[in-house]
Amino acid sequence: MAWTIVRGQAGWPPRLSCIPDPPERLRVRGTLGVAGERRVAIVGSRQTDTYGRDLAGEIAGDLAREGVCVVSGGAEGIDAAAHEGALGAGGRTIAVFGTGIDVVYPAAHRSLFERIVASGGALVSEYEDGAPGERWTFPRRNRIVSGMSEAVVVVRAGAKSGALITAAWARRQGVPVLAVPGDLREEGSAGPVSLLRGGARVAASARDVLEVLGMSGQLEMPLAAAADRCPEPGGDEAAALGALGREPRHVDEVARAAGLASGTTLAALLALELRGLCEQRAGHYFLRSR
């Protein structure tokens, strides 16, 4: 069941009243959240890779565990990974539509949208019910994605990705922009590199985002405690760890040394990183934790 909230009404996201060209009203399914809720937008390309999906989900999950609501656009690729990461951590997430609130786009995300509402999150649109997605509606809705948030994280984005429009809106709104670095040879790194050159902050993990929010250090103790409780790595993780040293090695080099496929190696390295056993550097480089 959708409902309408008008700008200035109780429960209206206060940050949206301060942006250029604010929406007059929002159609909502679900719960917008309490006043003062911390929100971060995670956006990126629809056509992404395992690295992008994994990092978007990991950052979203870690933020959700700290009580941060994850905002994104409900699209395929990075948006979906961010929503899924927040849901998997038991957190709240908000999807801002570029269509009417009753239009399921993409159609494959019907189940995702239902889970967002069922978990206490929200679906939001400024458009009339039944409004189809147009070329202009998605870039325009991006100002709401950034305007509801205290920071915008761009994970993977080509040179012409719509995620860069969200980053541009964020800068106009005075919202901090962070970017996840990647392999410079890959298309999905073009957008983050451009943003970093323009003054965006590096987002290597949720810790960097929490620091921008003034919540730095909150992930340190839980991760350290989890590493103490975990058994010694085995299987693919043990093979990947054995191929690491004190100097950064590219994931492909680690894969060859470990005798594993690149995708399997990346998954193992990300799991090891979560346990505090290895560290990641820009461009898919990893090394043993000191």
pLDDT tens digits, residue range 130-147? 999 999 999 999 999 999
271 close to 259: Cβ distance less than 8 angstroms: no
- Could you read off the pLDDT of 264-281 as tens digits, one per residue? 888 888 888 877 888 888
pLDDT band at 218 (very low <50, low <70, confident <90, very high): low
Residue 123 lies in a domain: yes
CATH number for position 135:
3.40.50.450
For residue 204, what are the domain limits?
Answer: 2-212
Question: Which CA distances in Å does 86 have to 6, 20, 70, 116, 157?
Answer: 27, 28, 7, 9, 20
Q: Residues 279, 148: one domain?
A: no
Closest CA to 146 of 11, 22, 10, 5: 22
Same domain, 90 and 200: yes
Residue 220 lies in a domain: no
Are both 174 and 145 inside the same structural domain?
yes
pLDDT at site 127: 98
Task: For residue range 83-119, list pLDDT tens digits in order.
Answer: 999 999 999 999 999 999 999 999 999 999 999 999 9
25 with 99, same domain: the answer is yes
Residue 217 lies in a domain: no
User: Do 105 and 247 sit in the same domain of this protein?
Assistant: no
Residue 218 lies in a domain: no
Q: 225 falls in which pLDDT band (50, 70, 90)? A: very low
Where would I find the beta strands (DSSP E) of 86-194? 93-96, 122-125, 152-154, 177-179
Count structural domains, the chain: 2
Q: What is the percent of the chain where pLDDT is above 90?
A: 67
* Cβ-contact 244, 287 below 8 angstroms: yes
Q: Is residue 222 part of a domain?
A: no
On whether the CB atoms of residues 71 and 94 are closer than 8 A, the answer is: yes
Distances (CA, A) of 99 to 8, 74, 134, 234: 23, 11, 8, 47
| In a domain? residue 189 | yes
**Same domain flag for 142 and 88:** yes
206 lies in the same domain as 234: no
Cα 82-205-146 angle, rounded to 5 deg: 50
Supply 155's token pair: 């994970």
> What single-letter amino acid sits at 251?
V
Q: Give the Cα separation of 252 and 267 in Å (integer).
A: 12
Give the domain-ending residue among 212, 244, 274: 212
Whether residue 171 is contained in a domain is answered as yes
Residues 192 and 272 in one domain: no
Task: Among 177, 212, 247, identify where a domain stops.
Answer: 212
The tokens describing 51, both together, are 């690295």
**Is residue 46 included in any domain, yes or no?**
yes
